[in-house]
Structure 1
Amino acid sequence: MSTEIPEREISELPAGYRGPNLSPVGLELMPHKFAQDVYALLANIPPKDNNGLIAGSRAALVVDAGITPDISRKIQQAAAGLVAVPVRYLVNTTYHGDHTFGNATFPDDVVIVSSQVNKNNMTDLAYEKQTRSGNMHDHAALLDEITVWRAPDLTFTTYAEIDLGGRVVQLHHFGPGNGPGDTVVYVPDTRTAWTGNFLCHTGVAPMLLQGGPQPYVDSLRRMRETLPNLKTIVPGHGPMGEGRAAIDGLVAYLERLHEEIAASVAVGRTLEETYAACTDPWAEELDPRLAAALTAYPIPAAQARERLRALCRDLHRLNILATYRLYR
């Protein structure tokens, strides 16, 4: 049974897989204020990309850059309208293009920061565009605008701090999760973490794109131990949530996924038999806490629930496939 992290994310998809719609068409950013100069910039249509804005007395920091130049400019315009100090830092929570293609649209004097592992994965623009185009649904042509993939200027291994002037922002790489280099941005004075693809609201399915359940669980446990005062997470996609509940829920999901697929492989089940044998947490209704969080969006709550439930079932089947292939 392998626990090694593949060099590239899985390209095989379950039959009928649609995946998240990350097209920026219709995307607007809704500011949510945690404290003076600390904001979540929430996509109006889940699961399109969220961002963050954190400022001190000297400088501001943006979390993630958006998928196209237009979205990157929209993020920068939002920052200019919300805080009085200039954006000097941009943190990439992952190397994925929907979080990093907008890097090149930020001014040259903005320092881009991420884990070294993320930077290591930012070398093949053509391949990354091809990979993300599957999540653009009917708007893949928008990626033709991306001609430069600007990599981070400054990297770290497991931990770094950025002093914005009276406010210190912590950067953590707890280990592999959705990808090998997931970076978490934590603001201690608001007890808020921007978690990218590493951690979503409890009840939202993860995506095992580049590794298995067991290393991911280890990374989540390190996060839980390192950030005992964590209150709120702002994920890269979907609604904000309570941090400890999100960690505990994802650990439970991944542990069960590991156990069920390891058992299937041990008795020689086929992939189709494994799909049938694995528990589907989204066969019925969404987690009530997640359903309540969806009421904050400017779309009918019932529509938001059904869309997200269908997406989570899709992602769950992808997780089964990825783990089955890894364990065979």
Structure 2
Amino acid sequence: MPEHSGPDPAVHTTDVREPARDLVVIADRGVPLVPNVGVIGGRDAVLVVETGIGIENAETVLKFALEYAKGRRLYLTTTHFHPEHAFGAQVFAGEATYLANSAQAADLEERGPGYLEMFKGMSDAVARRLEGVEPKRPDLVYDQSYDLDLGGRVVQLRATGRAHTRGDQVIRVPDVDALFTGDLVEAAQFSIFPWFPPHDTDVSGTRWLGVMERMADRGADIVVPGHGEIGGPQLLADVRDYLSLLRDETWRRRDSAVDERTIADEVSALMIERHPEWVGREWIEKGVGCLCAEHGGPGEPAEHAGPAA
């Protein structure tokens, strides 16, 4: 895991956006390891999307959500199990019902403890944020899809199948055509590939591309990425096109028996030339490693692919 050298990953409620009626986003402010946090309201209940990393951040999110809800029932969901998205869920116990898909619940149980220790090693600031954290199993676990009725507004939770993690899910608000993507989509950032063999090889570049193709085909008027500025359907197309090019350029060189180090150097240079303004350049090499491992392998069987998001 790359070292964390940025500012303290604190969630602040000083920059709150409202891209649609009764739907707000606590913006990440461009700070690494701070996610975009969603708060989606209906007549009877409010759904929080993401907790921030650690107990103090989750307390900030919970305080904001309770004030926003004004007595409405509270729910929590997380787009995937990674610490900045889900490692604050314990704070919501007794205040909110935590729901997520079964693959994410398995990730939290099986991968959560290892990621907790790995992230603690990124920096002293991150380690302090993670003091006292215990990955929490969701209260309500669904398989592939769940429609949550908030009262006059139904929110669709959909497992995508293995991509950035095994347990990715997206959250769609159909009445305003808004989509929360988690780290399947970042704005102005190279896709984060948690490729750490032999410890973690769950990420799949080919299946991630398949998810993005389906998401881009369906589109959304409002796209809330895991990190970065809120956008529209072009965000989905940008990630689809990047992953497609990353796969094609990696596999073209792999077909010519180029060694992986050379592939990583050449593909990284090409991608930076295409997107000089994007951050997270260290993740290009991780993506190359993942796609080299998938080179020539079978595609995902249709019956195992996640639903169109």
What TM-score do you get using the length of structure 1 for normalisation?
0.79
3-state secondary structure, aligned to 1:122: helix
* AA at the equivalent of 2:12: E
- When the two chains are superposed, the root-mean-square deviation of aligned CA atoms in Å is 2.4
Q: Residue deviations 1:61-111, cap 9 Å, x none? A: 100112111101100111233332335210110011211111000132521
Counterpart for residue 42 of structure 2: 56
CA contact (8 A) 1:117 1:180 kept: yes
Superposed, 1:106-185 pairs within 5 Å as 106-124=92-110, 125-134=112-121, 136-185=122-171
Q: 1:60 to 1:252 in 2, by over 3 A?
A: same
- Following superposition, the deviation at residue 146 of structure 1 comes to 2.9
Cα distance between partner residues in 2 of 1:113 and 1:312: 30
The aligned residue for residue 320 of structure 1 is: 288
How far the C-alpha of 1:326 sits from its partner, in A, is 4.1
Q: What's the offset of the Cα at 1:268?
A: 2.0
Task: Output one character per residue of 1:49-72: Cα deviation in whole Å (capped at 9) or x when no partner.
Answer: 210001111111100112111101
Distance 1:150 1:184, change over 3 A: same
In the alignment of these two chains, the number of paired residues is 285
Runs of 4+ residues over 6 Å off in structure 1: none
Paired AA for residue 42 in structure 1: A
Among 64, 70, 78, which residue is 2:56 paired with? 70
Distance 2:161 2:272 in 1: 27
Taking structure 2 as the reference length, the TM-score comes to: 0.83
Q: Is 1:237 matched up with 2:220?
A: no
Contact 1:195/1:235 (8 A) holds in 2? yes
CA offset at residue 258 of structure 1? 1.3
Aligned counterparts of 2:292 and 2:7: Cα–Cα separation in 1: 26
The superposition leaves residues 248-305 of structure 1 with CA deviations (integer Å, 9 ceiling, x where unpaired) of 2212111121122222222222222112332533237646xxxxxxxxxxxxxxxxxx
- Residues 178 and 258 of structure 1, relative CA distance in 2, 3 Å threshold: same
C-alpha distance in structure 2 between counterparts of 1:162 and 1:63, whole Å: 13
Q: Deviations over 1:2-59 (max 9, x none)?
A: xxxxxxxxxxx6xxx546858424x413211133321111122433221000111111
The aligned runs of 1:1-20 (5 Å cut-off) are 17-18=2-3
2:27 corresponds in structure 1 to 42
In 1, are the aligned partners of 2:54 and 2:133 still within 8 Å (CA)? no
- Unaligned regions of 5+ residues in structure 2, if any? 195-201, 297-309
Q: Indicate which of 262, 270, 274 corresponds to 2:259.
A: 270
Identical positions, percent: 22
The CA deviation at 1:245 is: 1.1
